[in-house]
Amino acid sequence: MALPTIRELLNSPGPKAGAVARGWIKTRRDSKVMSFAELNDGSCRESLQAVFCRENGDFSAILPSLVSGAAVEIQGDLVASPAAGQKYELRARQVKLYGGCDPEKYPIQKKKASDEFLRTVAHLRPRTNKYAAMLRIRAELAYAVHTYFRDNGFFYVHTPILTASDCEGAGQMFTATALDLSELKALPRTEGGEIDFSKDLLGKKTYLTVSGQLEGESLALALGKIYTFGPTFRAENSNTYRHCAEFWQIEPEMAFYELDDDMDLAESFIKAVTKSVLEKCPSDLGLFARFVEPALLDNLRNVTENKYERLPYTEAVKLLEPENARFEARVSWGADLASEHERFLVENYFKKPVILYNKPKEVGSFYMKLNDDGRTVRGMDVLVPRIGELVGGSERENRLDVLEQKMAAFKIDPQAYWWYLDLRRYGSVPHSGFGLGFERLMMLITGISNIRDVSAYPRVPGYAEF
């Protein structure tokens, strides 16, 4: 039977006789005459205090089982609590033990465990206050994403996860095959001895998508404004605090938008979803502000209240060059900026988010629109404190001849992208879009400093447990 959650019980309009709560025990303490157990069911940060006193029953047989991690149902009366910081407590009358828990072996102990240790018990870490709060915020943030786009006339579309095209042209793709690679000798071969993927299930070599952009463009050129929000994959061996092999990406794509419109949208979007979480998750965010990042609320105000600095790449290089002594990688015109440079601009120089645009065409992607100077492209990155790049986007090259030249320069086979080129043949219009890494947004909003701790089951180089 579905019962009210602890969140609902704690928000009850008044006391309630005959209330039932189910969940997991956080802690229990006993005094001479009473026992107290903190019961949490994951519905909110707060636990419900269950009070066991003799006049309400003999709990002596079951109390020893009410240890941290045990799953129980407690029936009793919800009454105003004399204790500070909680509106109600549950005066227990009956207790049912669902699943016991050996406190000696239970990996989630009351004393604070390290993030590294908790990653090794990712199946149990959602029972800690911190990871439960993270997951509730993640759910609320996903909801805010859909609300924002829906309220602004965008259609949610689903682009393929199995794809034959490499959107970023960077070759960082996981091959997806139905061929049995453990039977090397039995694999179909071409005359040249290569694996013959035309005999694979999908009839050609396919990969897990790195981005839904290319397919998203075709949908924007029919529906006007669309967005995708789904998993994307990068087979890049980057062992950093901000890279995952699997991450969720939000990718809006808009017909008739130029680069300025794209930047306006990215800024408005980040501000709106951040404000929405600030409003809806004060208690869970409070946990992060107290225990994880003391400057969290100031940082979030910085992101929601400032106008983002719009900085052409060439200007950025002029600002960074005199600082080269402090960087591991030297900056000069033509070089891609690294996270240390991005963070310097945001954290030391402007002290607010920066939108860096018009990068050299060689460091941009093949699909970015070439500027009239012939050297730079209309790409943009939104850089934020602590993380660096949160968004990568651009106005797309909508001229067939220029796109073909750029593909040649990037050594991309135009035949494989025949359908993408078609979009420039039939009713081409200026259009733009961007990709925002959902996990990086989670890092920004919670103050969590490692991307491994903003997903339930992170996928990073060398680790695919669970």
If you write DSSP's letter for every residue of 277-292 in order, what string do you get? HHHH-HHHHHHHHHHT
With H, G, I as helix, E, B as strand and everything else as coil, classify residue 400.
helix
| Residue spans of beta strands (DSSP E) within 179-224 | 206-208
Q: Which does 251 bind (CB under 5 to 8 A by kind): Mg ion, ligand 4AD, none?
A: ligand 4AD
User: For residues 52 and 227, which CB has a smaller minimum distance to ligand 4AD in the complex?
Assistant: 227
Rg over CA atoms, the chain: 27
- According to CB under 6 A, which residues from 153 to 192 bind ligand 4AD? 167-168
91 or 424: CB nearest ligand 4AD: 424
* In the block, residue with structure tokens 């695919």: 464
Locate 147 and state its tokens. Answer: 């609300």
- Shortest separation between residue 3's beta carbon and ligand 4AD, angstroms: 38
389 binds ligand 4AD (CB under 6 A): yes
DSSP string, 311-329: EEHHHHHHHHGGGGGG-SS
Asked if 249 is part of the footprint of ligand 4AD (rule: CB under 6 A), the reply reads: yes
For the bound state, the minimum distance from the C-beta of residue 367 to Mg ion, rounded and expressed in Å, comes to 13
- Map residue 297 onto helix, strand or coil: helix
Ramachandran assignment for 23, one of left (phi > 0), alpha (psi -120 to 50 degrees), beta (any other):
left
Region of 41-49, 240-248, 268-276, 334-342 interacting with ligand 4AD (CB under 6 A): 240-248
Site for Mg ion in 357-416 (CB under 5 A): 392
Other residues' Cβ atoms within 10 Å of the Cβ of residue 292:
17
Q: How far apart are CA 35 and CA 29, in angstroms?
A: 6
3-class SS at 243? coil
Cross-strand pairs, 48: 39
Number of H helices, E strands in the chain: 12, 16
Residues 27-86 contacting Mg ion, CB under 5 A: none
Does 274 participate in binding ligand 4AD (rule CB under 6 A)? no
C-beta of 343: minimal distance to ligand 4AD in Å? 14
Query: Which is closer to ligand 4AD, CB of 59 or CB of 417?
Result: 417
Cross-strand pairs, 432: 254, 395
User: Residue 211 binds which entry of Mg ion, ligand 4AD, none, with Cβ cut-offs from 5 to 8 Å by kind?
Assistant: ligand 4AD
The amino acid at residue 132 is A
Interactions with ligand 4AD, residue window 397-436 (CB under 6 A): 433-436
Name the minimum Å distance from CB 131 to ligand 4AD. Answer: 19
How near is the Cβ of 111 to Mg ion at its closest, in Å?
A: 40
Q: Which residue in the set 68, 206, 213, 274 belongs to the binding site for ligand 4AD (CB under 6 A)?
A: 213
Counting contacts by CB under 6 A, is residue 127 touching ligand 4AD?
no
Number of residues lying near ligand 4AD (CB under 6 A): 22
Smallest distance, Å, CB 441 to ligand 4AD? 8
The burial class, CB within 10 Å (0-12 / 13-18 / 19+), for 17 is exposed
Q: Which residues make up the interface to Mg ion (CB under 5 A)? A: 392
Residues that bind ligand 4AD (CB under 6 A): 167-168, 211, 213, 234, 243-244, 247, 249, 251, 389-393, 433-437, 439-440
